Each structure stands twice: as structure tokens, then as C-alpha cells.
Amino acid sequence: MRKIYLLAFLCSGFLFASAQEPTRRDSLQGGLPFERTCFNVLRYDLNIKVDPTKKWIFGANEITFKVIEPTKKIQLDLFDNMIIDGITSKEFGRLESTRDENAVFVHFNKALEKNKTYTIHFSYHGNPIVARNAPWDGGFVFKKDQKGLDFIGVAVQGTGASLWYPCKDSQSDEPDLGASIKVAVPNGLMNVSNGRFLGSKDLGDGYTRWDWEVINPINNYDITVNIADYVHIHDEHNGLDLDYYVLRDNEEKARKHFEADVKPMLDCFQLKFGKYPFWEDGYKLVETPYLGMEHQSAVAYGNQYKKGYRGMDLSGTGVGMQFDYITIHETGHEWFGNSITSKDIADMWIHEGFTTYTETVFIECTQGYEAAMKYVNGQSRNVRNDKPIIGKFGVNREGSGDMYYKGSLLLNTLRHVVADDERWWAILLKYAETYKKQIIDTPTVIDYFNKETGYNLTTIFNQYLKYTAIPHLEIQADNNKFKYRWKTDEPQFNMPIDIQIGTKKIRLQPTNEWQKFSESITSIKEITVFTDKFYIKYN
């Protein structure tokens, strides 16, 4: 999650930048030149110290990678306000580097061998960018809790993980063997990061280092630090470790609040999408000084123990006040975004559309079909149809924020195109399991659903994802009959639609050409179009 808006809740920061023409900096961050594709990251070993007073980071990242094609130069990334202290390797000693914007090109004095594994040690320091309004713009958040103690977090989706640590800052490559995150913070505070807690060590200089280990592949922007005077609550559910790290004064409140949603949510999601994908790393909710983020196995939670979204229902139906939006939505990302990841952020609807749909799925699991349909259709009030959902590739550009609600409504539409719930849930489950812990793109999604449904859904996906307008169903009286067609940007658009005449339910197969209905009717006012099941415009 990064971009949620409702009426006056509009995004800033990175989103403002997204509206500008792509720059060289954008191409360096979003592109895939040879210097990036010639190697595959295997592991990050991050070891840093955070000084809350100076808002300063000092440390290093050991980057282990496998060479795909021989090269004497690779591209890593670190924002240019951060200082490089040195890059070394056992094989080559001290390495030279050159900067181009936020890109750091590391030079080797001889070609790296294909299929060989190397490790470099990248030391750095500096004051990372401080977010103005996390999680909508990227950066660190330095706040105080009610006792005046430091309360620190970081959220960098879209802006880039290289804002605070050196990495190959592209969604196209995750460290296959996971990561270790060692973070030293002032004594009396705790750091919580992704994966399993390995232990802490008093460094004897007023700092304690907290060590965490992730064994699954992980998105760069998911790697996180959370620093506060935390209390730890442990639970388990059907063998899965549940760990909550909350501010000390919120312990009792948190125990009650998380109990209401977490276990029913996990039961629902595992039924519909398969086993929790990061079982080995456990499941955590970590209280943060910002609203929330899908940090893998350490989900950021800042909804202040309220139902809805900051105490509001984004659907405007009342249904959304029955659960904590941040818990449900951000955990849904564990399947869609963290497990199944888009290669380019232009395809972020693969994260956000499916995850927004998990909210509707949770409602159906807990409140039934009618409540779910009420909720998902209520979300349509947040759709702006301002620009295409799919963004610009290769320049670190997302598409429209409609990737959330319009993406969810697209999936609800596809469900009713299939018109067989048992089959639909089987297809969705197989999708989550087929691409588990993989990096994919939109054509892969379309090909999968075409194959599994047995329908050619390509024009449907294209209309919703590549154009601003939704399909427009036109029905006109024609003597004592009626004619109908789709009006769309996508040529040769073909999507079935269910209508009802009197008590009779009928499936039409409109195209962009006028077709005449064979049976007589008294008036087209007799016709009911199921716009609650299909996200369309209808005259």
C-alpha cells in the first residue's frame, strides 16, 4: 500500500514527481540495461547503526550475486545524498565506482566470470531523506511516542529502497536466498525487521544491535527497520507464529484488537489463496509512526487500533467498518505483491488490484456474498478514470491510482464472467500458488486467466488496464425488440453480460457491433442489467 485516496485524501511527494516527464534519473532507476541484467542478486547482509538524534545511518551492505553474463561493470543504487565510504571484495580488493544520479556503477579490473558467485562489501553513511507524509512519499519517519521516546520507521515503495541502503533497486531482482538485517539502536530501544529474530548484542557504546534473518526472497522496498520501545506479544495459529510488536502503552489494546481480525483473516486467505507464503519467516504486525506498508513478514501497522481506514469506511457502505483496513489490506499483500511481484512498477496493479480484492474476499468469508458485493461496488466511488492503470515501463512510473479499486472491480467482473464460483475460487487459488515467490508481468497474468477460464479475456483486461473509460453497454429500443452493443476503446471487445427481463435471467454476448435480441419486449424499461456484478457504464 502506498496510494490510497478518498475525496480530499490525495497523494503527494513521489506521486507529484510521477506526473512529470521521465528524467535520466527515472530511467536509471526504472530501466534494465546490461549493467543490471548481467547479474542476479542472491543475498543482502545489511549491518547498520541508526542515530535518532542526528537522523543518521552508518554501516554496510554485503551484496552476494551470481554473474549471468561476463562483465567488468555492474549497476547498484544509492541515493546521491548518501556518502559512499568504500566498496571492496575479497577477489579484487578496493573497487572503483562512478555515480550517475542515484546509480552507482561498480568497476572491476577484469571481467567477472559467467555463473560465478561474488560478494562485495558496500560501506556508506549519511542522513536519509525524511518522509513528509509516509507512506505516500518515501523516506524515514522520526517521531516520538507518548513518553517522548524515539519512534522510527521507514517506507520507500515507489521512491526506492536505495534511499537508505545500497542495493540493486529494481523489482525485477530479489535476493533469492533472503537477507540478514542487523540494526544497532540506542540502548533501551528495540529494532524490529523482517523475518526471524536471531538475538541482540550490547555493543558497549550505548547501542544494542538487533539481528534479523529472512530466508525467503524479498522485495527491496519490503526490507525495513522499526525502532521504538516495543513490547512483544507472541501467539500462534495452526502452527504459524504470530508476533506483534507494539508500543508499550498499547499492549492490552493490541491484544484485543488483533485477535478480532488476524486469525479469521489468515483462515480466509489461506483457504482462498493458499498457505501463508512466508511461513518460515513467520507473520508479524509491527506498530509504526505512519499508516501502514506491506513489509514482508513484518507488516507495518499504524491504524491506531481503529476499524475501517483511520476510522472511516472507504467504500461508503458501512461494511468497511467491520474490520481493520490496514491489517487486512497490508496482509493481503503477503500473497499479492510480496509473493507475486511485478517486474516493473508500471504493472503495480498486479500488487494493488489483487490486494484490494482481498478485502472483498475477507468480507465474503466473514459476512457473506451480499455484503461483499455491497463493499466492492461501494469502492467504485473512488475510481477516477483519470489515466490508464498500467504506467510507463522502464522509468519507475506507476499508472493511475485506479489500480486499487478499478483493479478490484475488474476482478469482481471476471468472477461473474466466469459465472461459476467454485471454478473461480479454484482459478484464483491456483494463480496464487502457480506464481508464488515469482516476478511476473501483465501478459503473464492475462495468459494465465485465458488458459484457466477457457475464455479469451484479453480485450477485457486491455480495456480496464490500458484505457481510462470502462466498457459502455448501449441498449436501444428497436420496434418491439431491442438491440445492444459495447462501446469501448479496445477494438473487437467481447465480454458477456447478464441481464434480467421480468423474472428471466439472460446472458448476452455483446460485441462492438449492434446485435438484435430475438424475443419481443414491451419496453426496454423491463431490462435490468447486473451492474453490481460487472463494472460497466450502462444507458
Q: Please indicate, yes or no, if residue 312 is contained in any of the structural domains.
A: no
Mean pLDDT of 15-23: 64
Kindly give, in sequence order, each residue whose CB lies less than 8 Å from that of residue 133, ignoring residues fewer than 6 positions away: 12, 13
Residue 21 grid cell = 516527464
Which pLDDT does position 15 carry in this prediction? Answer: 41
Q: Please indicate, yes or no, if residue 357 is contained in any of the structural domains.
A: yes
pLDDT range class, residue 522, cuts 50, 70, 90 = confident
Mean pLDDT of 193-213: 98
Which pLDDT does position 309 carry in this prediction? Answer: 97
283 or 1, higher pLDDT: 283
Placement of cell 508476533 in the chain: 243
457-491 pLDDT, tens digit per residue, is 999 999 999 999 999 999 999 988 999 999 999 99
Asked if 427 and 457 count as a contact pair (C-beta separation under 8 A), the reply is no
Kindly give, in sequence order, each residue whose CB lies less than 8 Å from that of residue 138, ignoring residues fewer than 6 positions away: 13, 14, 129, 131, 155, 156, 157, 158, 159, 160, 163
Report the chain's mean pLDDT, rounded to a whole number.
95
Total domains in the chain come to 2
What span, in angstroms and rounded, lies between the C-alpha atoms of 309 and 292? 11
pLDDT surpasses 50 at 328: yes
Mean pLDDT of 372-378: 98
Which pLDDT does position 1 carry in this prediction? Answer: 58
Domain identity same for 484 and 432: no
- Give residue 378's domain range: 330-466
pLDDT surpasses 60 at 494: yes
Domain identity same for 426 and 479: no
Question: Whose CA is closest to 286, among 341, 216, 351, 212?
Answer: 212
Domain identity same for 360 and 459: yes
End-to-end CA distance of the chain: 35
Domain identity same for 397 and 461: yes
pLDDT surpasses 60 at 12: no
Which pLDDT does position 5 carry in this prediction? Answer: 43
Percent of the chain with pLDDT over 70: 96
Kindly give, in sequence order, each residue whose CB lies less than 8 Å from that of residue 149, ignoring residues fewer than 6 positions away: 188, 189, 228, 229
391-435 pLDDT, tens digit per residue, is 999 999 999 999 999 999 999 999 999 999 999 999 999 999 999
pLDDT range class, residue 539, cuts 50, 70, 90 = confident
Domain identity same for 501 and 525: yes
Mean pLDDT of 509-528: 93
Mean pLDDT of 436-454: 98
Q: Please indicate, yes or no, if residue 346 is contained in any of the structural domains.
A: yes
Domain identity same for 425 and 523: no
pLDDT surpasses 80 at 498: yes
257-282 pLDDT, tens digit per residue, is 999 999 999 999 999 999 999 999 99
pLDDT surpasses 60 at 2: no
Question: Whose CA is closest to 278, among 216, 326, 346, 320?
Answer: 216
Question: Whose CA is closest to 341, among 420, 445, 430?
Answer: 445
Question: Whose CA is closest to 61, among 164, 188, 211?
Answer: 164
Which pLDDT does position 7 carry in this prediction? Answer: 37
Mean pLDDT of 34-47: 98
Question: Whose CA is closest to 195, among 239, 243, 129, 233?
Answer: 243
User: How far is CA 218 from each of CA 168, 198, 214, rounded to the nearest angstrom?
Assistant: 12, 18, 8
Domain identity same for 369 and 433: yes
Domain identity same for 439 and 527: no
CATH number assigned to the domain comprising residue 410? 1.10.390.10
Asked if 34 and 69 count as a contact pair (C-beta separation under 8 A), the reply is yes
- Whether pTM > 0.85 for this model: the answer is yes
Placement of cell 516495543 in the chain: 230
Asked if 495 and 510 count as a contact pair (C-beta separation under 8 A), the reply is yes
What span, in angstroms and rounded, lies between the C-alpha atoms of 170 and 74? 13
Question: Whose CA is closest to 254, among 238, 237, 231?
Answer: 231
Asked if 122 and 76 count as a contact pair (C-beta separation under 8 A), the reply is yes
133-181 pLDDT, tens digit per residue, is 999 999 999 999 999 999 999 999 999 999 999 999 999 999 999 999 9
Boundary of a domain, candidates 443, 466, 489: 466
335-371 pLDDT, tens digit per residue, is 999 999 999 999 999 999 999 999 999 999 999 999 9
User: How far is CA 143 from each of CA 131, 153, 301, 526, rounded to the nearest angstrom?
Assistant: 11, 9, 15, 60
Kindly give, in sequence order, each residue whose CB lies less than 8 Å from that of residue 512, ignoring residues fewer than 6 positions away: 485, 486, 487, 488, 491, 492, 493
Domain identity same for 369 and 478: no
Domain identity same for 440 and 476: no
Residues 333, 292, 234, CA angle at the centre, nearest 5°? 80
Classify residue 164 as left (phi > 0), alpha (psi -120 to 50) or beta.
Answer: alpha
Which pLDDT does position 519 carry in this prediction? Answer: 87
